[in-house]
């Protein structure tokens, strides 16, 4: 039993749920990763290339902000996307959990390289006024970390990763998973709406402005709390 035990259990539980719901792109695969902030300088993150059904909470890695392994199973490496998670925790004090998936409808927009505008208020208040595209770079590369970092200033809780998948952020793990779910829902609905060929209406400008104010406020409050 270590001080990270409950974080590790939460990460495994969220990963299993996302896997069972098909968020990792295949029901038996591990196409994605999940992390939670455990301190100012460390996170608990899923290991690389293992089926979540085959591991225990002890196999979840605890990684420092220099990406050194603090705790884990010697035979398992942390996710190759640990650098991407790390930069988000460094740049966004409001974020305490991150879900990266290869979910189907989110991935449709990753292929057509099209952001998702503000369409449904319950979704936009959680995710932000625009779900932007993070330009493509190879998984685990420093270029991908830079590309992710370049988009974080909009304070959104969801992004589409070009030709790859999605990122959902949250102030806790429940919220990050919920945000991945909300992104899948709005991507599915937007896809169906686009397929009608009819005009699509976004939320009114005044609501989009309010969404931006609320997202910026949450980040500002997290910064004040940290200081």
Q: Which residues bind Zn ion (CB under 5 A)?
A: 165
Could you list the active site residues? 81
Q: Which is nearer to Zn ion, 58 or 80 (CB)?
A: 80
Please identify the residue of the shown chain whose CB is closest to the bound Zn ion.
165
The strand pair at 61-64 and 42-45 is best described as antiparallel
Q: Which residues of 39-78 are buried (b: 16+ CB within 10 A; e: fewer)?
A: eeebbbbbbbebebeebebebbbbbeeeeebbbbeeebeb
Nearest distance in Å: CB 32, Zn ion: 6
Q: Which is nearer to Zn ion, 67 or 192 (CB)?
A: 67
Bridge partners (DSSP) listed for residue 155? none
Q: Which is nearer to Zn ion, 79 or 124 (CB)?
A: 79
Nearest distance in Å: CB 190, Zn ion: 21
Bridge partners (DSSP) listed for residue 44? 36, 62
Nearest distance in Å: CB 222, Zn ion: 26
Output phi, psi for 160, to 5 deg.
-105, 130
The DSSP output letter for 47 is: B
């Amino acid at each position: 039993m270590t001080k990270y035990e409950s974080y590790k259990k939460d990460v495994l539980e969220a990963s299993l749920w996302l896997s069972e719901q098909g968020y990792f792109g295949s029901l038996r695969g591990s196409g994605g990763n999940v992390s939670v902030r455990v301190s100012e300088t460390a996170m608990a993150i899923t290991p690389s290339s293992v089926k979540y059904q085959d591991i225990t909470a002890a196999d979840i890695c605890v990684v420092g902000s220099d990406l050194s392994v603090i705790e884990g199973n010697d035979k398992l490496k942390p996710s190759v996307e640990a650098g991407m998670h790390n930069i988000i925790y460094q740049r966004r004090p409001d974020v305490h959990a991150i879900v990266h998936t290869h979910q189907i409808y989110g991935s449709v927009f990753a292929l057509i390289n099209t952001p998702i505008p503000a369409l449904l208020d319950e979704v936009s208040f959680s995710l932000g006024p625009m779900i932007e595209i993070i330009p493509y770079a190879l998984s685990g590369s420093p270029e991908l970390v830079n590309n992710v970092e370049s988009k974080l200033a909009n304070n959104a809780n969801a992004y589409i990763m070009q030709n790859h998948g999605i990122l959902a952020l949250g102030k806790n793990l429940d919220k990050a998973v919920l945000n991945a779910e909300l992104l899948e829902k709005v991507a599915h609905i937007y896809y169906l709406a686009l397929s009608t060929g009819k005009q699509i209406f976004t939320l009114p400008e005044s609501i989009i402005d309010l969404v931006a104010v609320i997202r910026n406020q949450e980040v500002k409050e997290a910064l004040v709390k940290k200081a």
